[in-house]
Amino acid sequence: MENEELIKQVTEKAEKWLSPAYDAETQAEIKKMLANPDKTDLIEAFYKDLEFGTGGLRGIMGVGSNRMNIYTVGAATQGLSNYLNKNFKDLEQISVVVGHDCRNNSRLFAEISANIFSANGIKVYLFEDMRPTPEMSFAIRHFGCQSGINITASHNPKEYNGYKAYWDDGAQVLAPHDKGIIDEVNKISSATDIKFEGNKDLIQIVGEDADSVYLDMVKSISIDPEVIQRQKGLKIVYTPIHGTGMMLIPRALKQWGFENVHTVPEQMVKSGDFPTVISPNPENAEALSMAIDLAKKIDADIVMASDPDADRVGMACKNDKGEWVLINGNQTCLIFLYYIIKNRIAMGKMKDDDFIVKTIVTTDLIKSVADKNHIEMLDCYTGFKWIAREIRLREGKQQYIGGGEESYGFLAEDFVRDKDAVSACTLLAEICAWAKDQGKTLFEVLMDIYVEYGFSKETTVNVVKPGKSGAEEIKAMMENFRSNPPKEIGGSKVALAKDFKTLEATDGEGNVTAIDMPETSNVLQYFTEDGTKISVRPSGTEPKIKFYIEVKGEMGCHKCFDAANAAAVEKIEAVRKSLGI
């Protein structure tokens, strides 16, 4: 009976898309779905509206209210236009930046968005071609805009596309504007509410005029240019995985002084089909396999890869046995911040008011590094908009010197307000040059950190639950953890539990204290007596629930890594067993 009711609802919804406000191709697709006895596609396309969340839109491309298409993108842009016109009504000319990545339909969605903004009297700076997400964030600040959007689904599979909304500081939208925009988007009830006819006079195409300024700014963050000069022959292998990084990252490396940069030719081809990888995600070993093959061939010093919108960086280097190993997002963030702190101190650049930021699910080893060097470290929610918020709150009072998250995102500067693979790749090359200057590899730098600050191993377990039923399962899992919190995990007693939905922390004796955060979030954390940290949260952009596991250990010497790692692997398995994942 329930299924019959659902089919009736989605049918009624789909039939509204058979009006002249929707193009013939869309109508034909919907007629096909309606005629099909199997209603699965119809239900998936229309059982809900693709939600414009606090980060914008992300979904599978196709027809329907729950899909990325010109109408769902159009509704988002019309709603954002309405909000901008209300919020900045006293401004003579409101302006926005529109950027996009390499994905199928990205250019189409960007041009349609530019038309809609301009039809609403808003000036648009539209990039001539795909560009990295961080450059779009930079351009909002550079051109003095009130907002901006980027058409990208980051590292999602090729079927996906997305829509990221930004505010005047170049960061993704936060309260109260996030809710205000969502309200306006939700008021768009059909395609007839969207102004698709653009005003060409209000659309300005940009490219090199933004590129050159941005790249000059990126170059300014180099901490030790002299070490690059000494190691300019450093052998670097880079791949953009078919994405936007190819537009700027090889050029940025050259501008910093690196003369021996090798790109993966097959992956320097712009393509939304990502033909050489299963998934264009630098977190996955498979996405770096072609780059590692090239590195082996030329005996490179480092491999680096950016995701399709070039905001995240993955890397690989040789271990103490000469084997190529992947460095995970936590380790990458740790290496970045260790280098920035250590070398700013060594070169007399560190100031008393400098601070760093990490997200609550990122390794706590970073806090050990910060504390020992008397640097302020802030913890914030997952997502770079929260790191950007900390920068904004301290602007003019304190200096941000770096921040990152375990999901391969890092930001080394404050003139961009989103994670930035362009600056991250160049800074990573500098760190590698600095290590080589001392006769070390990046792997040995990581070992130095573990010996001095203690060993930790992190892993993320993604439990994927697609579709409507999956969303319900994820909700039930979170409710179960809340109503039956674990008393011990992996053989160690839970000493502290944090619930960011209630903003309450409960210790092992049942004492409850308040958590100081800007708003609530559906995240749970457990800290055990042996130093293990578990974080649980549903993904905000994908149909999965994520478990972040960090276990601690000691590493008395550089040769002790294998033993420390093996003990940590054993501990992680015990944790997974306890959690039933």
DSSP 50: P
Determine the distance from the C-alpha atom of residue 102 to the mean position of all C-alpha atoms in its chain, rounded to a whole number.
16
DSSP assignment of 320-359 equals TTS-EEEE-HHHHHHHHHHHHHHHHHHTT---TTEEEEEE
Instruction: Write out the E strands in 354-470.
Output: 354-359, 376-380, 399-405, 409-411, 455-464
Assign 502 to helix, strand or coil.
Answer: coil
> What token pair was written down for 335?
């290496």
Assign 561 to helix, strand or coil.
Answer: helix
Helix, strand, coil shares of the chain, percent, nearest 5, are 40, 20, 35
What is the spatial distance between Cα 528 and Cα 532, in angstroms, rounded to a whole number?
Answer: 5
Which are the catalytic amino acids?
154
Which one, of 391, 425, 388, lies nearest residue 408 by Cα? 425
What is the spatial distance between Cα 150 and Cα 171, in angstroms, rounded to a whole number?
Answer: 12
Cis peptide before 543 (omega within 30 of 0): no
Residue with tokens 């229309």, as numbered in its chain:
46
Contacts 24+ apart (CB under 8 A), 282-285: 282/155, 282/241, 282/306, 282/307, 282/312, 282/313, 282/314, 282/408, 283/155, 283/314, 283/328, 283/329, 283/407, 283/408, 285/326
Sign of CA dihedral 261, 265, 267, 268: positive
